[in-house]
Amino acid sequence: MTPHPQSASHPVVLQLEGVSKLYPGTMALKDVHFDLHAGAVNVLVGENGAGKSTMMKIIAGVEQPSKGRILLDGKPVQLGSTEVARAHGIGIVFQELNLFPNLTIAENLFIGREVTGAGYAIDNKTQYQKARELLRTLEHDLDPNLLVGELRIGQQQIIEIAKAMAQDARILILDEPTSALSAPEVEILFRVIRDLKARGVAIVYISHRLEELIRIGDYITVLRDGCITGASVMAEVDVPWIVRQMVGASTRNFARAEDHAFGDTVLEVSHVYLPRNGAPGFRVEDMSLCLKTGEIVGIYGLMGAGRTELFECIFGCHPDSATGSVKLLGQELIGKPVSSCIDAGLALIPEDRKSDGLVHSMSISENLTLASLWRLATRWHLKPQSERVATDKFVKSLSIKARNPLLEIGSLSGGNQQKVVIGRALMTDPKVLLMDEPSRGIDIGAKADVFKVMRDLAKAGLGILFVTSDLEEVMALSDRIVVMSNGRLAAQFEAGVATQEAVVLASNSGQLLVA
């Protein structure tokens, strides 16, 4: 790809030259050329898996390129670790903030580099003053003695930026900085970014939010499947151009399974609201959708769009705070706990199988049967025979590669563990399956298995709602696509009508921006 036009006012401070990154089984970056301009916001966009985070990790020193080199001020440099990168003036603010909520702002800013007075004692006064100065340069006159845990997310982000600036960062990487911010906080962040620009800092801005980055960006680079598909000055492009580069002009043929007829409506979600904890606003706002038997509906959206929270509302995880109506075959489920929802015919496959899906101290068989024990028991007695029969049935039907179901669950690969979570849900004989990122973190082969299972289940009459952040997946699997943005319903598309561009655009809508 041709590099950006050189601009005298924005000299190139860092360059990636022919950088490739190979991970076992996949090429995350392929021969990437990237110019980072000082005193400017360099935006990096791409779909999930495009290689943004790999590129960012290479610049930050977290990973090293398999091929190619990095040039800093025109000279080749080895960024072997984050410390080395920091020493070169490269700072990074991760999406998940790395702050200590139980310590003060000043303590957080100087963690690991405390200002010590005589001997070992921390010089609190100097730290306080330095912290205060630093915050003032970022136009945030916060009291450095405040506990970080008491700050709002937007303020915490500023503290992270201040931390990087305290180490004289000339290059600042911001990873999805606005995903957790409210509209006014975004404005404050943009003001800080403009100040940093004016001081010559080169900013790498990674985001999904197209309308935002058009506003704040000076240069834009688009990644797809590990390659740079577009690089330009922001002033010369518009949102459709960005989407085209992200998504590709070729119309892909998503092989769909043979169509089957849908049945009656099985799940009706109406005007569901979930308020935020301890803050104004809603995490899910006025969500309504319908699902028929045999239908697969994919829910697409950015992080923070409220998709997992919607599933939690439907599944009874928030019986006291979710409002609205959730009807399964006419039975009202809102306000009822999880056990009632499972009894009614709902089943959930959670997003994070490690923390929410599996009980690691139990065997494969015990995990599989966990949600169905009362069903398998006669009165109160659980016969090992009934468990074995049920386990074998699902191990076979889901092709779970387990030599012995009495083995610990930890002995299975990620893909097979996911199948166990699915098997557990299916054993409850559900009518509606809620799948949250069903293919996350599993290899290609297991992914294909999971997709086949989903199609077979739909053909057998189950209604399936699934959440995904993978555009190809939602296009390939769904009979209907629902796009969520900021907790609300942004758009709905029938399978034949949806285009990738329309879906991506919809997922970015509803961002309340002050003109």
Partner 1 sequence: MSAILSPSLPAPSKAPRESALLLLLRLRTFIALFLVATFFAFMAPNFFSAENALIMSKHVALNAFLAIGMTYVIVSGGIDLSVGSIVGLTGMVAGGLILNGLPLGDYVVYFNVVEIIGIALLLGVFIGAINGLLITRLNVAPFIATLGTLYVARGVALLSSDGSTFPNLEGSAEHGTTGFPLLGTMNLGGIPLVIWLLILVGAGAAYLGARTPLGRHIYAVGGNERAAMLSGVKVNQIKFFVYMFSGLCAAIVGLIISSQLVAAHPLTGESFELNAIAAAVLGGTSMTGGRGKIGGTIIGAFVIGILSDGLVMMGVSSFWQTVIKGLVIIAAVVVDQFQQRMQQRMAMQMRAGA
The footprint of partner 1 (CB under 8 A) covers 315, 317, 337-339, 341-343, 348, 350, 355-363, 366, 369-371, 373-374, 376-377, 380-383, 401, 403-404, 406-408, 410-413, 416, 424, 428
Q: Residue 277 or residue 355: which is nearer to partner 1 going by CB? A: 355
Strand 75-77: give its sheet, edge to edge: 26-37, 12-23, 67-72, 75-77
Q: Residue 75 or residue 381: which is nearer to partner 1 going by CB? A: 381
Task: Give me the least distance between CB of 157 and partner 1, in Å please.
Answer: 28
Q: Residue 254 or residue 374: which is nearer to partner 1 going by CB? A: 374
C-alpha span between 89 and 74 (Å, rounded): 15
DSSP secondary structure, 435-490, as one string:
EESTTTT--HHHHHHHHHHHHHHHHTT-EEEEEES-HHHHHHH-SEEEEEETTEEE
Q: N- to C-terminal Cα distance for the chain?
A: 34
Q: Residue 301 or residue 430: which is nearer to partner 1 going by CB? A: 430
C-alpha span between 389 and 459 (Å, rounded): 25
Task: Give me the least distance between CB of 362 and partner 1, in Å please.
Answer: 6
Task: Give me the least distance between CB of 266 and partner 1, in Å please.
Answer: 19
Q: Residue 30 or residue 388: which is nearer to partner 1 going by CB? A: 388
C-alpha span between 341 and 353 (Å, rounded): 20
C-alpha span between 422 and 265 (Å, rounded): 23
Three-state secondary-structure class, residue 174 = strand
Residue 157: C-alpha distances to residues 21, 145, 186, 277, 305 (Å):
29, 17, 11, 19, 20
Task: Give me the least distance between CB of 320 and partner 1, in Å please.
Answer: 13
Q: Residue 442 or residue 489: which is nearer to partner 1 going by CB? A: 442
Stretch (H or E) spanning 193: helix 183-198
Task: Give me the least distance between CB of 373 and partner 1, in Å please.
Answer: 3
CA-nearest of 424, 404, 405 to 365 is 405
Task: Give me the least distance between CB of 391 and partner 1, in Å please.
Answer: 12
Task: Give me the least distance between CB of 319 and partner 1, in Å please.
Answer: 12
Are 286 and 278 in contact by the 8 Å Cβ rule? The answer is no
C-alpha span between 128 and 132 (Å, rounded): 6
Q: Residue 344 or residue 458: which is nearer to partner 1 going by CB? A: 344
Taking each helix axis as running N to C, give the angle between helix 444-459 and helix 414-427, from 0 to 180 degrees, rounded to the nearest 10: 20
Query: What ranges in 269-402 are assigned the alpha helix state H?
Result: 307-315, 338-344, 364-369, 373-376, 384-397
Q: Residue 251 or residue 355: which is nearer to partner 1 going by CB? A: 355
Residue 110: C-alpha distances to residues 116, 140, 220 (Å):
11, 17, 33
Task: Give me the least distance between CB of 467 and partner 1, in Å please.
Answer: 15
Q: Residue 365 or residue 500: which is nearer to partner 1 going by CB? A: 365
Task: Give me the least distance between CB of 256 and partner 1, in Å please.
Answer: 31
CA-nearest of 270, 306, 300 to 288 is 270
Task: Give me the least distance between CB of 385 and partner 1, in Å please.
Answer: 12
- Residue found under tokens 């990095």: 70
C-alpha span between 102 and 149 (Å, rounded): 6
Q: Residue 120 or residue 380: which is nearer to partner 1 going by CB? A: 380
Task: Give me the least distance between CB of 359 and partner 1, in Å please.
Answer: 4
List b or e across 111-128, with b for residues whose CB sees 16 or more CB atoms inside 10 angstroms: eeeebeeeeeeeebeebb
Q: Residue 363 or residue 508: which is nearer to partner 1 going by CB? A: 363
